[in-house]
Amino acid sequence: MEQSFDVIIVGSGAAGMTAALKAHHEGLKVLVVEKEQYFGGSTARSGGGIWVPNNYVLQREGIHDDPQNARTYLDAVAGNAAPDANKSAFLSHGPAMLAFLRAHTRHMRFSYARGYADYYPVRPGGLAAGRTIEPYLFNGALLEEDLALLNPPVVPIPMGLSFNSAEFNRMNMAFRTWKGFGTAVKVTFRAIGS
């Protein structure tokens, strides 16, 4: 049976799925094509951290950022490897993309990854406090049988544990600090309870 589509998205990572959602929202017929047996791309494997300067999450947290400072950082880090037009498009449309996800999805909510510095924070425009945001923890059971099709993490995580970057950092100190130990207990009980 032959079908036609308005938009064909190649890849089911965060970028592809966001593009598909936007196209669908605009009333277009969309097909997402994925070559792997799993969906989610590298986003599903990495925890979903997102580096988009000057977005609503940073603003909500009182993190001062502006497009020119972020542009200075991109120029210092990427140099000529990325065309100026691409950098400008990313900086001007990235915050709007995150606002679109907040407005048009039920479960895509983000928090500030406090303490997760820009990769090169000492480069011009870099922020030691970081610009990374990450999705709130999501109950995978809501995906039902599709959960088995989600790209697995790079490092297998036992017992279905889930945690954000701050919890991960504290759990690394589980045998050295009470805060680390308490975080490990909290994350374990959260997994048992879900």
pLDDT in tens, 89-115: 999 999 999 999 999 998 889 999 988
**C-alpha–C-alpha distance, residues 187 and 170, integer Å:** 11
- Pairwise pLDDT comparison (120 vs 64), residue with the higher score: 120
Residues 6+ apart with CB under 8 A from 81: none
Q: Give the pairing type, strands 110-112 and 7-10.
A: unpaired
| Per-residue pLDDT tens digits for 145-182 | 998 998 888 777 776 677 777 777 777 777 888 887 77
pLDDT at residue 23, as a whole number: 97
- Each residue's pLDDT tens digit, 26-63: 999 999 999 999 999 988 887 788 999 999 999 999 99
pTM listed for this prediction? 0.81
Region of poorest pLDDT, from 7-11, 45-49, 141-145: 45-49
